[in-house]
Structures are given as structure tokens and as C-alpha cells.
Structure 1
Amino acid sequence: MTPFAELETLIYDVSRVFLVPVLLLIAGALAYALAMLGAFAVEAWQRRRGTHPRALLAHARRAAAGDGPPGVDSDDLELWIMRRLEWLRIVSRTAPMLGLIATMIPMGPALLALGGNDAAAVGRNMVAAFSAVILALLAASICFFVLAVRRRWLLQDLRELERMRAGGKA
């Protein structure tokens, strides 16, 4: 075996080690996305009814009462919003990459099986590859949707708070 072939084998073996962790991360991303979709649906329903406890306003009130960080201004509240939305953004951006990784790892064995005329092995590997990317894209899509709408809601709350402060109500 040539040194190049040994390097190829080593790289292949190392990449196969990452398949299970990547699949677990995709499953976790999908579970997180579904949980966030449920929380989003509840929040949308509450906002429509006017009964949603606005977390941004509560955070600003706690800070003004001395229970939170002193001197919370709009920049601090924007950082609070970014922290609140951080995991949605991370999952919406990394899940497609994880899906690509989970697609590419089984492609090697599928191509080897294709060369050996083993159609069943090709099918097994392709099903695993495409199922993983579908779930990863689904998780990313859900998280991106929730992120976009929730960011708008929180910025609307921030704008409302700024108007209240300008009017001397807060």
C-alpha cells in the first residue's frame, strides 16, 4: 500500500467516526427546533390575545427597579435580544452544514458499493445520507422562521419601550 493510499484510508476512517456525532447533533437540532416551534406557537397565540408577558419589558423594569444590571439602555436591551435569539441563529446556520456532512460521509461507501455492483448497499447509504440532510434542513428552516418573527417581535417591544421612556412612562 502506498503512503497516499494509507492517507486516504486514514482520512476515510476518521470521517466515519464523525457520522454518529453529526447524526446526534442533527437529531438534537430537530428536537430543539420543534420545541422552539411549540413555544413560538404559544407566544403567537398569547400575543394575538394580548396576554403575552413581554420578557423585554419585564427585564427593563427589573433593571430600573435595581434587580437587574444598572442603567439598562437600548444598546443593553439589544444585546439582551441577541442573547435571547442566539441559539435559534446558531441552529439555523449550522444545521445545513451538519446535513451536508451527514450526506457526504455515507457517499464514500455508497460509491464503493456502486463500483462493486452492490445496489442494496448503495441504497442503504443514500437513504441515510438524504434522510439526514432533510431533517437538518427542516430544523434550520423552522429555526430561521422562528428567529425572524421573534426578532421582529422583540424589536417591536424595544421600540415600544423606547416610546414609553420618551413619553416619561417608564
Structure 2
Amino acid sequence: MWIESGFAQIAQLLLWPVLLLVGAGFVYSLWLLGGLGMEAFQRSRGFVQLHNDAKFSMDEIELQVMRRLEPTRLLSRISPLLGLIATMVPLGPALQSVAAGEGQQALAVFSGAFAGVVLALAAAAIGLAVYSVRRRWLLTELVALRRARGLLS
């Protein structure tokens, strides 16, 4: 019994940091979306992200691409997990409130929990869309760079 109550207390301690991370992830996803719009505008004007600088090997350029994409990839993968935590942690106390006949209190807990998961899923969806578009753009540039360096026929 003591291990269950210990786990429950640890889970409760995780709730606020997780909610803060969900909020930060959602704000970051909006920032990424704005950046994608700016990048699309720059690309429509002929601006290229990767430069054919001979001092960098193709491996170094590929690593640069990976570094650029990794934060967005992580956002799209971690946000749903954080949303699940933000939903599951309050469910225990909410179900106890329902069992005790305190439906209004449980409803308040449920609405907060579901708001967290909605923001987390929205952040993940935006992150995945930004990641996919940027990845396609950068891989297209990598192919062009390989062609320019004579590495592709």
C-alpha cells in the first residue's frame, strides 16, 4: 500500500512540470509554424538554406540538417506523451471525487486534464507538419547539393 501512495504522490508532483512543458511545447509549435511561413516566403524568393561550401563535407552538411530537424521531431513525438501524463495524473483524484458523489469537483479536474491533452496533441500535430515540410525541403536541397558536387548522376 505504501508503494502505491508513494507513486501517486510522485505522479502528483509531476503534474505541474508536465503542464508547463505542454504549454511551452504549444507556444514553441506556434513559433515553429510562424518560422515555417517565413521560410516558405524566403524559399519562394529563391533563398536556399544549405550552401555549397567546399570546406564542409557532405557528412557535416547532413549532420547540420539533422540538428535543424531534431527539435521539431522531438516536439512531435514527446508532446503526446506529455499530454497523456497531463490527463492520467488528475484522473485518479477525479474518479475518487465521482465515487464520493462530488461530481462538480470531478468535472473541473476532468476539463483541466483534457485541456492539457488537447494542447499537447495540437503541438504534436503542428510539429509533425512543420517537420515533414522542412524535411522534404532540406532533403531536396541535399540531393541538389550532391548533384552539384558530382556525387549523384
Superposed pair shares fold, TM > 0.5: yes
| Residue 125 of structure 2: aligned partner | 141
| Residue 70 of structure 2: aligned partner | 86
| 2:113 matches 1:164 | no
| 2:59 matches 1:75 | yes
Aligned counterparts of 2:140 and 2:5: Cα–Cα separation in 1: 55
| 2:83 matches 1:99 | yes
| 2:40 matches 1:44 | yes
Of the three residues 111, 117, 122, the one matched with 2:106 is 122
Q: 1:55 deviation in Å?
A: 2.6
SS of structure 2 residue aligned to 1:56: coil
Aligned counterparts of 2:9 and 2:146: Cα–Cα separation in 1: 56
Bigger radius of gyration: 1
Count the aligned residue pairs: 151
Q: 1:127 deviation in Å?
A: 0.5
Q: What is the TM-score of this pair, normalised by structure 2? A: 0.93
| Residue 30 of structure 2: aligned partner | 34
| Residue 67 of structure 1: aligned partner | none
**CA offsets per residue over residues 91-139 of structure 1, 9 Å max, x none?**
1100000000000001011100010010111111111111000000000
* Paired AA for residue 108 in structure 1: G
* Paired AA for residue 49 in structure 2: A
> Which stretches in structure 1 are left out of the alignment for 5+ residues?
65-69
SS of structure 2 residue aligned to 1:106: helix
| Residue 24 of structure 1: aligned partner | 20
> Which stretches in structure 2 are left out of the alignment for 5+ residues?
none
Aligned counterparts of 1:42 and 1:84: Cα–Cα separation in 2: 16
Q: What is the TM-score of this pair, normalised by structure 1? A: 0.84
| 2:103 matches 1:112 | no
Aligned counterparts of 2:146 and 2:10: Cα–Cα separation in 1: 53
Aligned counterparts of 1:73 and 1:165: Cα–Cα separation in 2: 10
Question: Identical aligned pairs, as a percentage?
Answer: 42
SS of structure 2 residue aligned to 1:166: coil
* Paired AA for residue 50 in structure 2: L
